Structure formats: structure tokens, C-alpha cells
Amino acid sequence: MKIHREGYRTLLLVFTLLLVADILLFVFILNGPAGYFLVLFVSLLIFSYFYQFFMDPARNIAKKNGAVLAPADGKVVVIEETYESEYFKASCLQVSIFMSPFNVHSNRSPVTGRVKYLKYHPGKFLVAWNPKSSELNERATIVIEDEKGQEILLRQIAGAVARRIVTYPGVGDRVEQGEEIGFIKFGSRVDIFLPAGTPVEVIIGDKTLAGITAITQNIK
């Protein structure tokens, strides 16, 4: 299991802080092997907790023509028709995927196409399952026009723990289905907006894998 590049600095910082803290404890406070073992064990747990946020497993992406693939690993928490006010300004089908701290936090393109719109919004850090998080939290909106001219909107949303959203492509860039397009540090959520009435292959509670699970086989 390799580490995602977004985790290098964070993990180095955590490792350095733990190392300094352990040395200070060993020199000035602790006395005896039992205390040393406990401190090392706690430090290992803390480092492991941060490490799992930046897991980057190898993934074989099988492109599916006409399908819209999940943009994130996690659990489907919302499937509903709603008004999308930023770009479409129309009723759309919203599918939301919640990424827990134990999910892979890399985001992937649901379709092959070209980035038509991209906007980052600073904001609050409400819990990711709060309905208002889509409008009030730190977030980035990406619209991809697929090869048939259909537009799909993807929204990366920071959660109560997440403090940084990264989006890799820019407006005009071509992205391939399943290609990594972003990363959200720590717990977060990704919304995908499709035309109203689009039939979906998932139900609330389903677990998804980015670039593998099909949200729909055919955009209406």
C-alpha cells in the first residue's frame, strides 16, 4: 500500500512531532521500559491513524462507455432530485458519497471528457452529512462535458475534519474516465449531479469504489 503524494508533508510533520515528543518524554519524564513501550505504542497508533488517511492502493480501472462511475470511495448517503443553483440552475439528480476517515480519499473522473467549469469556494466545515454542507462548506465544483456533449457536475466537499481540497485538472483539460482528478484530506463528501430522471445503479447505503462502481449505465 503506497502513500498518496498529498500525504508526504503531513506524515513527515506528524512523524517529526511525535519523535520530538517521545525524545523529550524519554529524557525528562519517563523512567523504565514500561513507560518507553507505552509511549512508543501510543505514537505508533497516532502515526497509523494519520497514515491510513493517505492510502493509495493500486486500482485497475475498467472504462465503461456510456456509464458514469463513482468519483469516490465511500457510502452512498443521498439520492434525490434537487435544484442545483451554481451551474445548471435547474432540477438535477444528486448522488452523494460520504468518505469516512477510513476510506481512500482520492477522487476520480466519472467520465471521459473535458473540464468545462471549475470553481473553488472557501467556506465552513460542517459535518459532511449535513445537507447544508453542499452550500456552506469549503468545496470545489467541477463540470465535465463527456464525449457525447452531456455535462456532469462533480462537487468535492470538505467535512468537519477536512481542511484542504485539491483539484488537479484545469478548465479545458481532458480527463479520462477513472483518472485521478483530486484529493480531499480527511473525512469528506463528493456530490455528483446528473440530469433529472437518470436511472441509477446504486441505492442509499451502498459502498462505492472510485472508478469502478457504476452510478448509472446510461445518462437520460
pLDDT at 135: 65
Classify residue 107 as exposed, middle or buried by CB count within 10 Å of its CB (0-12, 13-18, 19+): buried
Cα–Cα distance between 203 and 75 in angstroms, integer?
Answer: 10
pLDDT at 61: 81
Chain centroid to CA 133? 14
Which 3 state secondary structure label does DSSP give 205? coil
pLDDT at 35: 78
Quote the pTM value.
Answer: 0.82
Helices (H), ranges, 52-157: 133-136
Residue ranges of E strands in the chain: 2-3, 55-56, 68-69, 74-84, 90-99, 106-108, 113-121, 139-146, 151-158, 165-167, 174-175, 180-184, 188-195, 207-208, 214-216
Cα–Cα distance between 59 and 74 in angstroms, integer?
Answer: 15
Catalytic residue positions? Answer: 188
pLDDT at 142: 97
Cα–Cα distance between 23 and 116 in angstroms, integer?
Answer: 52
pLDDT at 127: 59
For residue 137, what is its C-alpha cell?
A: 462548506
pLDDT at 69: 96
Cα–Cα distance between 123 and 132 in angstroms, integer?
Answer: 11
pLDDT at 128: 55
Cα–Cα distance between 162 and 152 in angstroms, integer?
Answer: 24
Helices (H), ranges, the chain: 8-28, 33-51, 133-136
For residue 15, what is its C-alpha cell?
A: 512523524
Local mean pLDDT, 10-residue blocks, the chain (220 residues): 81 93 84 81 90 80 87 95 95 94 89 96 66 70 95 88 81 95 84 95 96 88
Cα–Cα distance between 194 and 78 in angstroms, integer?
Answer: 13
